[in-house]
Amino acid sequence: MTEEINLQTHLMEMLRKEKQITADLEKASRAKSDFLSRMSHDIRTPMNAIMGMAAIARSHLDSEERLLGCLEKIDTSSRLLLSIINEVLDMSKIESGSITLSEDEVNLPELVQSVVSMVQPLIDQKKQQFQIHINNMRHESVLGDMQRLQQLIMNLLTNAVKYTQEGGTIRLEICERPSDEPLTGIYEFVVEDNGIGMHSEFLSRIFEPFERADDQRIYTVQGTGLGLAICKSIVEMMGGQIQVETESGKGSKFTAFVCLKRTEGTIDEKALCGRTVLIADDDEITCVNTSKYLETVGIRTDWVSTGQEALNRAVAMHRKGQDYFAVILDLKMPGMDGIKTTGKIRENLGDDIPVILISAYDFSEYSDRAKEAGVDGFITKPLFLSRLVSKLKQFLPDTEPKAQNLPEAPPCSTENGFFWWRIML
Ligand code: ADP
């Protein structure tokens, strides 16, 4: 009797599992069919545009203006087409398990800079605010797959831009956490927006390939439903996880972490030990994080939130005969900005204290005004310890000559083409 009951229970359980598998397969196949029908439309639209524009160009060979217009449209449509094809091919490669990760030396400041330079134009186009915070990053060089890491962060950031209204805010935070594994760090990437958010029913499917929210707010937004599935595969291949918190109408927060082997850093940890630096930035998180970094290499810090406070502090310390080793000022602060504050410091204290400007914006349009006011150097945000230390070291006595008044080199180049396809979506 008991054996029969056990057998029956076992059979029922097998039947239930089989039903579940069939339902899952049906769902996956439905998602793929939906995807194919949407894709055939999405692929035909740019393809038709390319062919149409080529025909128009051929019949206007005498008009340079018309030809240029056609070429521009061909360029845009072909990039869009390439983006769709790349994403589909990428996903199929991942699904068949034929992707292997490379293990190159990755410099995280360079990685972040490349991602920022690619996403900034999209953010500017939608007049959105972009905040970047680097938190507790003690090891900036790791072994990993640069291209896949870029793809992970770019997919999350481009989604944040796409699904956030004009004027919204996008935040990227990168944080290093200790790991139990020797010489390994856990690197966490958080991308947060205050955009359209998602309904909770969608969350169980969000990382599945070809899935998009059934939400009329996204019908006009281009997408394949593959970006997040690709992100999930990347983080899992790197021994990590990805998760999302969201509220419809309020925004979304994606948190992904990966485990990466650290390589020896090149930061000179002793050169600046015992010096005191003043930081002024209206973004409190930047002040706190920068102070924490500098303290790890023995630099004492004071921080304030306005240019006026920075001036008051610098003057007060000067009167005590305890001048700061250097003053770091944010370019854009309400009230007195970094350049005006530098001018006031020069008026009150002369030229001796090095003043460094920090900004997420391109310095080139400010550099003449800044030089005139007496600024000695520039550092591009986000602030990594290596950048801060190498800039500050330029002001040590009897080392290199005073830092040149030149903005930093432009962000490192990447294979921008590789990401165009995602950016275009
Ligand atoms: P897509 O190419 O459609 O953007 P993804 O795989 O990147 O595909 O994202 C899957 C779906 O998740 C999107 O179609 C969208 O519905 C939702 N989504 C992703 N990121 C966000 C975000 N930041 N805010 C709101 N919805 C998002």
For residue 241, the model assigns a pLDDT of: 97
- Measured by CA distance, the residue closest to atom 19 of ligand 1 is 159
Question: Looking at the domain assignment, is residue 269 inside a domain?
Answer: no
**Distance from C-alpha of 278 to C-alpha of 303, rounded to nearest angstrom:** 6
Output the CA 225–ligand 1 centroid distance in Å: 7
Provide the pLDDT confidence category of residue 398 given band limits of 50, 70 and 90.
low
Best probe residue, ligand 1, of 206, 228, 419 (max atoms within 8 Å of C-beta): 228
Instruction: Give all strands of the β-sheet with 276-280 in edge-to-edge order.
Output: 300-304, 276-280, 326-330, 355-359, 377-380
Q: What is the mean pLDDT of residues 330-345?
A: 94
Is the minimum distance from the CB of 195 to ligand 1 under 6 angstroms? yes
Verify cis geometry, omega within 30 degrees of 0, for the bond prior to 354: no
Is the minimum distance from the CB of 278 to ligand 1 under 6 angstroms? no
**Distance from C-alpha of 425 to C-alpha of 416, rounded to nearest angstrom:** 15
For residue 404, the model assigns a pLDDT of: 43
- Measured by CA distance, the residue closest to atom 20 of ligand 1 is 159
Measure Cα distances from 276 to 134, 170, 295, 299, 313 in Å: 22, 33, 10, 6, 12
- DSSP summary character for residue 201: G
Q: Is the pLDDT of residue 352 over 80?
A: yes
Is the minimum distance from the CB of 133 to ligand 1 under 6 angstroms? no
- Averaged pLDDT of the chain: 87
Question: Looking at the domain assignment, is residue 344 inside a domain?
Answer: yes
Best probe residue, ligand 1, of 83, 163, 210, 224 (max atoms within 8 Å of C-beta): 163
Reported as a single tens digit per residue, the pLDDT across 225-260 is 889 999 999 999 999 999 999 999 999 999 999 999
Reported as a single tens digit per residue, the pLDDT across 11-47 is 899 999 999 888 888 877 777 777 777 777 778 888 9
Percent over 90 (pLDDT), the chain: 55
Provide the pLDDT confidence category of residue 265 given band limits of 50, 70 and 90.
low
Secondary structure tally for the chain: helices H, strands E: 11, 12
Q: Is the pLDDT of residue 419 over 70?
A: no
The one-letter code for the residue type at 118 is: M
- The count of domains in the chain is 3
Query: 407 and 279 in one domain?
Result: yes
Q: Nearest CA to 284 among 131, 61, 118?
A: 131
Question: Whats the size of the chain, residue-wise?
Answer: 425
Q: For residues 267 and 301, which has the higher predicted lDDT (pLDDT)?
A: 301
Is the minimum distance from the CB of 160 to ligand 1 under 6 angstroms? yes
Structure tokens at 389: 């230390």
Is-contact 175 188, C-beta < 8 A? yes
Is the minimum distance from the CB of 227 to ligand 1 under 6 angstroms? yes
Query: 279 and 403 in one domain?
Result: yes
Query: 215 and 109 in one domain?
Result: yes
Is-contact 277 314, C-beta < 8 A? no
Reported as a single tens digit per residue, the pLDDT across 287-299 is 998 998 899 889 9
**Distance from C-alpha of 336 to C-alpha of 344, rounded to nearest angstrom:** 10
Is the minimum distance from the CB of 170 to ligand 1 under 6 angstroms? no
Q: Is the pLDDT of residue 83 over 50?
A: yes
Q: What is the mean pLDDT of residues 303-314?
A: 96
Q: Is the pLDDT of residue 278 over 80?
A: yes
Best probe residue, ligand 1, of 87, 95, 193, 198 (max atoms within 8 Å of C-beta): 198
Reported as a single tens digit per residue, the pLDDT across 151-210 is 999 999 999 999 999 999 999 999 999 888 888 999 999 999 999 999 999 999 999 888
Best probe residue, ligand 1, of 159, 226, 419, 424 (max atoms within 8 Å of C-beta): 159
Output the CA 237–ligand 1 centroid distance in Å: 21
Percent over 70 (pLDDT), the chain: 92
Query: 118 and 68 in one domain?
Result: no
Question: Looking at the domain assignment, is residue 291 inside a domain?
Answer: yes
Domain end position, chosen among 240, 262, 284: 262
For residue 28, the model assigns a pLDDT of: 75
Is the minimum distance from the CB of 151 to ligand 1 under 6 angstroms? no
pLDDT-wise least confident of 118-127, 130-139, 408-417: 408-417
Task: Supply the range of the domain harboring residue 391.
Answer: 274-421
Is the minimum distance from the CB of 230 to ligand 1 under 6 angstroms? no
Q: Is the pLDDT of residue 407 over 80?
A: no
**Distance from C-alpha of 268 to C-alpha of 389, rounded to nearest angstrom:** 7
Query: 119 and 258 in one domain?
Result: yes
Query: 288 and 144 in one domain?
Result: no
Whole-prediction pTM? 0.76
